[in-house]
Chains A and B, each alone.
Chain A
Amino acid sequence: AQSVTQLDSQVPVFEEAPVELRCNYSSSVSVYLFWYVQYPNQGLQLLLKYLSGSTLVKGINGFEAEFNKSQTSFHLRKPSVHISDTAEYFCAVSEGSGYSTLTFGKGTMLLVSP
């Protein structure tokens, strides 16, 4: 079974600073990778996904992530954060063959302060 590790439970950062949220997954032949964001009192919404092709994936709200197969990582980055990016971010993985459910990491709370 897949597992997902988000190394930081909380990341505090100042507005307009760059940020990286880390995600590692257990190895598999092929995987699909996702980042979701949860704003306060809301459900999760998709930020971006990697299915195949280019290892650099761009998502909504200026976020991007890079798939690194050798390091089994899928870190999320944004060059300049806003107060409105304050939210919890979840990395998720599913196996790339047949039907597979998503396995989520425990989440990283991004706290952006002025």
Chain B
Amino acid sequence: DVKVTQSSRYLVKRTGEKVFLECVQDMDHENMFWYRQDPGLGLRLIYFSYDVKMKEKGDIPEGYSVSREKKERFSLILESASTNQTSMYLCASSSGTGNSPLHFGNGTRLTVT
């Protein structure tokens, strides 16, 4: 089974802090994704990457950046955390093209105070 591991289950950070969310997958998948999930809004794509050192903006990239130095690891970075970034963050990976299902981690619930 594919395993996608997010390093923190819960995080509490202060406004203005730089925040790193880490994600690791163990199935050699080419594609990795970061979503945020908010009640009533579903999942919204922040950034994705289809290869090492490659990154593409999703639907809501503002205030975020990403890093993919190794194939198995995809990091989401909040350069200066704000309260409106309080959310559940979900990492996912997949192989191949659009017909491949996503495999999700269990999420990181981030609270920015």
Chain A residues packing against B (C-beta within 8 Å)? 6, 9, 32, 34, 36, 41-46, 49, 51, 90, 94-102, 104-107
Chain B: CB-nearest residue to A41: B106
Which of A32, A43, A46 is in CB contact (< 8 Å) with B105? A43
Interface of A is mostly: loop
The 25 listed contacts between A and B (C-beta, < 8 Å) are A32-B98, A32-B99, A36-B102, A36-B104, A41-B106, A42-B107, A43-B4, A43-B90, A43-B92, A44-B90, A44-B102, A44-B104, A45-B104, A51-B99, A90-B42, A96-B99, A98-B98, A99-B97, A100-B97, A101-B33, A101-B48, A102-B45, A102-B102, A104-B44, A105-B42
Task: Count A/B pairs, Cβ under 8 Å.
Answer: 61
Count residues on chain B whose CB falls below 8 Å from chain A CBs: 24
Chain B residues packing against A (C-beta within 8 Å)? 4, 33, 35, 40-45, 48, 50, 58, 90, 92, 97-99, 101-107
Asked if A43 and B43 sit within 8 Å, CB to CB, the answer is no
Distance to closest chain B CB from A88 (angstroms): 9
Give the distance in Å from the alpha carbon of A49 to the alpha carbon of B98 in the complex.
12
Give the distance in Å from the alpha carbon of A86 to the alpha carbon of B43 in the complex.
19
